[in-house]
Amino acid sequence: MKIIDLRSDTVTQPTAAMRAAMLDAPLGDDVFGDDPSVNALQGKIAAMLGKEAALFVPSGTQSNLVGVMTHCGRGDEYIVGQMAHTYRWEAGGAAVLGSVQPQPIEHQKDGSLALADIEAAIKPDDAHFAKSRLLCLENTIGGKALAMDYVADATALAHRRGLATHLDGARLFNAAVKLGVPASDIARHFDSVSVCFSKGLGAPVGSALVGSREFIGRAHRWRKMLGGGMRQAGVLAAGALHALEHHVERLADDHALAARLAEALAGIPGLAVEAPQTNIVFVDLVGGRREAGAGLLAHLKSRGVLATGLYRLRFVTHLDVDAEGVDRAAAAIREYLASA
Ligand SMILES: *Cc1c(COP(=O)(O)O)cnc(C)c1O
């Protein structure tokens, strides 16, 4: 039985064409700046985002950390969403390794941070306070694309108040495909952007931090300090480059599959399905079914379907699932809730 793994878009296996590209990649020592495949990837992603330079890093977590540490020094703070990856899901790295204080604020329903809340969180220049230095946004956030007007307004506010801006764009291309804009239209509002190649783009490893030449020059030292200087990293970069060349437009297929799953689940008693914008479907267990999460996940597993969550289940579509798989997942969910 083929496993339908909907836990995350990080679970994809490299395609045969991607493996071939990785196998054939010209290599060098990237710590000397000598790896042609890393250099090609950095040039390509910088151009796609309309920035001067980029830095290939092992993970999105390191990319965000290097970004925050390049913008902020000891005793500075960054304003960030309560549920943002850069605050909640990166083990407190900015505080632990960067001595940078996070100032988390609540999200609105659409995943944004209210302009008034951002404004209120910016500290005056006073010895009591950490120095507000950076605004971090995330796009997509919880599978939702931030509105273009909002991105423009929030980053303009930050810049007006003397803050730099960083985008955790782990799924930036999902947002761009959803909104029907080039990724550079979103990226241009930010001083730095992090993108993941290992999510929906389907590469096995890697992220990039993108920004001005001067910024990336300084980021380079932090990457080295954090242990992210890799040697013949072109073998990985070639997979990411292949993903940028072949797997961006197809993200629309993942979004369509997520919509297909949401439609198949709509109306099942005990489920409240949030209409997905991109490749992530959230389903709340409600009413008498609120406690059904663990049993449902175990049942799905017995049917070869993997997902995560407890009261709020999460299903993520990607390169390695198709319509048949999504339909099988929906049927297994329906089967459990009809019987239990
Ligand atoms: C996955 C993810 C990251 C970082 O991921 P790594 O697992 O460290 O590569 C950062 N931000 C968001 C929003 C993510 O989804």
- Ranges of each domain in the chain: 16-246, 250-339
Q: Please state, in angstroms and rounded to a whole number, the distance separating the CA atoms of residues 217 and 259.
A: 42
Cα(86) to ligand 1 centroid in Å equals 8
Whether the predicted pLDDT of 54 surpasses 70: yes
Residue among 7, 10, 88, 89 whose CB has most ligand 1 atoms within 8 A, to mutate: 89
Specify the fold of 250-339: Aspartate Aminotransferase, domain 1 (3.90.1150)
pLDDT of residue 1: 82
The CB of 85 under 6 Å from ligand 1? The reply is: yes
The CB of 223 under 6 Å from ligand 1? The reply is: no
The CB of 168 under 6 Å from ligand 1? The reply is: yes
CA atoms within 13 A on the CB side of 135: 31
The CB of 170 under 6 Å from ligand 1? The reply is: yes
Strand, helix or coil for residue 104:
strand
Cα(71) to ligand 1 centroid in Å equals 19
Cα(33) to ligand 1 centroid in Å equals 25
pLDDT tens readout for residues 71-129 = 999 999 999 999 999 999 999 999 999 999 999 999 999 999 999 999 999 999 999 99
Q: Please state, in angstroms and rounded to a whole number, the distance separating the CA atoms of residues 146 and 161.
A: 21
CA atoms within 13 A on the CB side of 172: 31
pLDDT of residue 325: 97
pLDDT of residue 309: 95
The CB of 196 under 6 Å from ligand 1? The reply is: yes
Which CA distances in Å does 178 have to 24, 95, 251, 256?
Answer: 33, 33, 9, 10
The CB of 254 under 6 Å from ligand 1? The reply is: no
Domain at 16-246: CATH architecture: 3-Layer(aba) Sandwich (3.40)
Q: What atom of ligand 1 comes closest to residue 141's alpha carbon?
A: 13
The DSSP secondary-structure symbol of 14 reads P
What totals of helices (H) and strands (E) does the chain contain, helices first? 14, 13
Cα(284) to ligand 1 centroid in Å equals 23
Show the tokens assigned to 9: 């878009």
Which amino acid is it at 256? A
pLDDT tens readout for residues 224-279 = 999 999 999 999 999 999 999 999 999 999 999 999 999 999 989 999 999 999 99
- Band (323; pLDDT cuts 50, 70, 90): very high
Whether the predicted pLDDT of 340 surpasses 80: no
Strand, helix or coil for residue 298:
helix
Whether the predicted pLDDT of 162 surpasses 90: yes
Which amino acid is it at 21? A
Residue among 63, 68, 80, 85 whose CB has most ligand 1 atoms within 8 A, to mutate: 85
Asked if 16-246 and 250-339 have one fold, the answer is: no
* Percent of the chain predicted with pLDDT > 70: 100
Cα(137) to ligand 1 centroid in Å equals 13
The CB of 59 under 6 Å from ligand 1? The reply is: yes
The DSSP secondary-structure symbol of 322 reads -
The CB of 83 under 6 Å from ligand 1? The reply is: no
Show the tokens assigned to 39: 């250099």
pLDDT tens readout for residues 23-40 = 999 999 999 999 999 999
Pinpoint the alpha helices (H) of the chain. Answer: 16-24, 36-48, 60-71, 85-88, 93-98, 115-121, 148-160, 172-179, 183-187, 213-225, 234-246, 251-265, 293-302, 323-339
The CB of 90 under 6 Å from ligand 1? The reply is: no
Cα(170) to ligand 1 centroid in Å equals 6
Show the tokens assigned to 24: 């054939």
Instruction: Beginning with the edge strand found earlier in the chain, give each strand of the sheet holding 271-273 in spatial order.
Output: 271-273, 280-285, 312-316, 308-309
